[in-house]
Structure 1
Amino acid sequence: QRGLTVDLCNRTADKAQALAAHLGTGIAGHGNDAIARLLPEADVLVNTTSLGMIHQPPLDLDLGPMKPGATVYDVVYVPLETDLLKRAAARGLRPVDGLGMLLHQGVEGFRRWFGITPEVTPDLRRLLQDDIRAKTPGA
């Protein structure tokens, strides 16, 4: 409805295409070989892999073709600042870590388990950031 498209990439093009078909209109599935072709037009890049997570290799992706000011979102939250996000910031892109996703998923789980809906606030985010940093030096 808003002229927005989502390009979903996966190591296996067939899996990406099947997921895209399941999710509905405006979503196209591709193999990872399409990433270089898609990046120059992307307003947002979302990494949903474990690459970049602590004890995992970084996501090897050239951000050079991305538009100035594009957003790079990494669902990884340990470390808070992944190699991908550091490289995005260095290029003037907008880096977003996965902590917000974790917090908002936690709200729903907490509500279901305890019948109370906590509010995600800057203080709650800071508390979790401090906890992650304390428990994972270098993160």
Structure 2
Amino acid sequence: VAQADVKEVLAALPRMGFVGVNVTIPHKETILGLADLVSDRAALIGAANTLIFRADGKVHADNTDGIGFIENLRQGAPGWDPAAGPAAILGAGGAARAVIAALSEQGVREIRVSNRTRSRAEALRAEFGPKIVVHDWVQAAGMIEGAATVVNTTSLGMVGKPEFRVPLDALSPGAVVSDLVYTPLETTFLVEARARGCIAVDGLGMLLHQAAPGFERWFGRRPEVDAAARAVLLAE
């Protein structure tokens, strides 16, 4: 859908019988200004990925990316403990905002952020408060030292994007390392993290888990996210 057509499409979908839709880049921020109701979570993140078309004609915007991230983390690393230590986040875009909001909600006390454009990371500190510790991108390798949770929210390592080249020598064995990239499923980041004794969690589960709450809102039941669901997605 072209940016200029989003408003028209949004108005047409309920008339066509849709009860809701998932929204992806580049419309996740635009859609907030077009919704009648915005959840606190979506407002905090500044983006929506789920729309619910209500019976009263109002459009409700929500963001379930953070829910998907946490559920995927707990499924891929069942022993994950938000109180185990600091989290280190690579990137400061919309995905990083969702992850930071979710980690904060889970009780992580220190969240380190490194981004190629430092001002974007500083903006996150201004919004989320002193628990955000900003590091220059050239310090990213050192930022992960002692971190219990490390997350790549950038597109580095994705098919068609630059390779992930942040040195991972400082990773702590046993740390939970997550990559939001899922094409390829086994990124260089995850392969190197696993080789250093870390628990590696790929990004495919987040894609599945973020969709489950929206599905429940639309159809009244929550689908199970299991190995079979992953297999279906991988087969496409």
* Mapping 1:46-85, distance limit 5 Å: 46-85=151-190
Greater shift after overlay, 84-93 or 72-81? 84-93
Q: Is the 8 A contact 1:73 1:96 kept in 2?
A: yes
Report how far residue 69 of structure 1 moved.
1.6
Q: Is the 8 A contact 1:47 1:74 kept in 2?
A: yes
* 1:91 paired to 2:196: yes
TM-score normalised to the size of structure 2? 0.50
SS in structure 2 opposite 1:41? coil
Q: Is the 8 A contact 2:151 2:178 kept in 1?
A: yes
Gaps of 5+ in 2: 1-82, 84-106
Report how far residue 19 of structure 1 moved.
1.0
Question: Which residue number in structure 2 is paired with residue 107 of structure 1?
Answer: 212
Question: Which residue number in structure 1 is paired with residue 234 of structure 2?
Answer: 129
**AA aligned opposite 1:109:** G
Using the alignment, how far apart are the partners of 1:60 and 1:113 within structure 2? Answer: 41
Report how far residue 75 of structure 1 moved.
0.2
After superposition, give the CA deviation of every residue in 1:94-114 in whole Å (9 maximum; x if it has no partner). 111001211111113333444
Question: Which residue number in structure 2 is paired with residue 6 of structure 1?
Answer: 111
**AA aligned opposite 1:10:** N
Using the alignment, how far apart are the partners of 2:108 and 2:179 within structure 1? Answer: 24
Using the alignment, how far apart are the partners of 2:195 and 2:177 within structure 1? Answer: 12
How many pairs were matched up?
Answer: 131
Instruction: Report the structure number with the largest CA radius of gyration.
Output: 2
Q: Is the 8 A contact 1:40 1:67 kept in 2?
A: yes
Report how far residue 60 of structure 1 moved.
0.4
Report how far residue 46 of structure 1 moved.
0.5
Gaps of 5+ in 1: 132-139
CA RMSD of aligned residues (A): 2.1
**AA aligned opposite 2:150:** L
Report how far residue 10 of structure 1 moved.
1.0
Greater shift after overlay, 48-57 or 121-130? 121-130
Q: Is the 8 A contact 2:152 2:178 kept in 1?
A: yes
After superposition, give the CA deviation of every residue in 1:55-112 in whole Å (9 maximum; x if it has no partner). 2222101111111121221000111111111111222221110012111111133334
SS in structure 1 opposite 2:185? coil
Report how far residue 22 of structure 1 moved.
0.8
Using the alignment, how far apart are the partners of 2:218 and 2:136 within structure 1? Answer: 38
